Amino acid sequence: MNKYEFDPVTHIGKVNGEIWPSVTQLLNRYKLINYDDVPESVLEEKRILGTRVHRASLLLDNNNLDEQHFNKTFPECIPYLEGYRKFRVIEKFEPDEKEVRLFSNKRKFHGSPDEIGSRDFNGKIISVVIDYKGTYHMYKSAGAQLAAYAMLIEENYKTKIKERWGLLLKPSGNYELTQFKDKLDFTDFEACLYMYWRCRNKYKTIKE
């Protein structure tokens, strides 16, 4: 059995001691995500905020969130969590698993989908994957990111992901849902993955 290790500080994932790329590392390396024009301080602020909101949403779903303590300690996160709360009340999505770390033996990469869930679609329950965003708008790269997560879920759970959704949590306390339907999102991610391993194994321009 393969052994998967993940360092939450460095975000380095290893399988049997070998470093494998993550979904977001690949999207950043090949510029499907590009934050070059965003100050590093802003990126770090958003990263911390996103981590806190994600953690709070998990606790909220499990009825374990101390809201009084959270609101007092992280007031900047309150509107984003309120947007998440509205999403849970209004939409017909049910969480099955959140922030589970997965790796692909077939393609040699790893990642952590924000939410693997289900949705009532005309009386039929279908499997969906959702990624939460606290950015200024929903970037197109989320389509390729969700495609990668769908690959991971289908390989590990043997279930077909029918829909991919981006959940944008807004500082206004509201939310916006975007469905990604472009099948080429899968091709885009696979192209990043292909180039990574070719550069690493054949051209030796990537050393891990």
Amino acid 53: pLDDT: 95
Closest CA to 163 of 133, 183, 188, 135: 183
Q: What pTM did the predictor assign?
A: 0.96
pLDDT in tens, 14-33: 999 999 999 999 999 999 99
Paired tokens of 103: 């790796």
Please report how many Cα atoms fall inside a 13 Å half-sphere around the Cα of residue 18, on the Cβ side.
11
Per 3-state DSSP, the chain is made up of helix, strand and coil in percentages (nearest 5) of: 40, 25, 30
Q: Note the pLDDT tens digit of each residue in 76-112.
A: 999 999 999 999 999 989 999 999 999 999 999 999 9
Tokens of 3: 């052994």
How confident is residue 189, by pLDDT bands cut at 50, 70 and 90?
A: very high
Tell me how far apart the alpha carbons of residues 63 and 79 are, in angstroms, rounded to a whole number: 19
pLDDT digits 0-9 by tens, 168-180: 999 999 999 999 9
Q: Mean pLDDT in the chain? A: 96
d(CA 76, CA 86): 17
DSSP state of 64: -
Q: At 140, phi and psi to the nearest 5?
A: -65, -25
Domains of the chain, earliest start first: 4-201 (3.40.1350.10)
Q: What is the pLDDT of residues 42-73, one digit of tens each?
A: 999 999 999 999 999 999 999 999 999 999 99
